[in-house]
Amino acid sequence: MRLPAPLMIVLVTLTSAPSCQRPGSPPRLLPDDHALAPAASAELRAACALAEHRCSRCHPIDRVLLVDVATPRQWQDQVTRMRRLAGSSISPGDGDAIVRCLVYRSFGPAGLAALEPGGSGASSP
């Protein structure tokens, strides 16, 4: 190698950087999603970004991260309750997306399946 030393350092630094760097502010709510199909991953990423935005207006997002839920249904109830608070400005559609993020976070793909119509955790329409 006849590269000048400073250039070598730059090259080494660049090539040894982690290959999957997270962008600026990754959704903290979304756990490791490498197992997800790309489409589902994109959907959940967007849903979790929405959740972080909407659910951190009145209290820190930690309030959401710390809560312990036992069933997907409990996330639906929590989100519905928060959505109905005065000034939440969370639409029903946003609420559904947020629920999917939180359910995936707590229960993984099985939790999402339970949200589908006929799933064990589905709410009445």
Which residues of the chain form contacts with ligand HEC (CB under 6 A)?
54-55, 57-59, 63-64, 67, 78-79, 82, 85, 87-88, 90, 98
Going by the DSSP 8-state scheme, the letter that residue 122 receives in this structure is: P
Smaller CB separation from ligand HEC, 98 or 103: 98
Alpha helices per DSSP H over 20-91? 38-54, 62-66, 72-83
Q: Any residues with CB less than 8 A from the CB of 75 and at least 6 apart, and which? A: 69, 99, 102, 103, 106
Smaller CB separation from ligand HEC, 18 or 93: 93
Half-sphere exposure of 64 (CA within 13 A, CB side): 28
CB of 34 to ligand HEC, least distance (A): 25
Smaller CB separation from ligand HEC, 35 or 81: 81
Half-sphere exposure of 46 (CA within 13 A, CB side): 9
CB of 30 to ligand HEC, least distance (A): 14
Smaller CB separation from ligand HEC, 8 or 57: 57
The SS3 call for residue 36 is coil
Euclidean distance between CA atoms 96 and 98, whole angstroms:
5
CB of 60 to ligand HEC, least distance (A): 10
CB of 91 to ligand HEC, least distance (A): 11
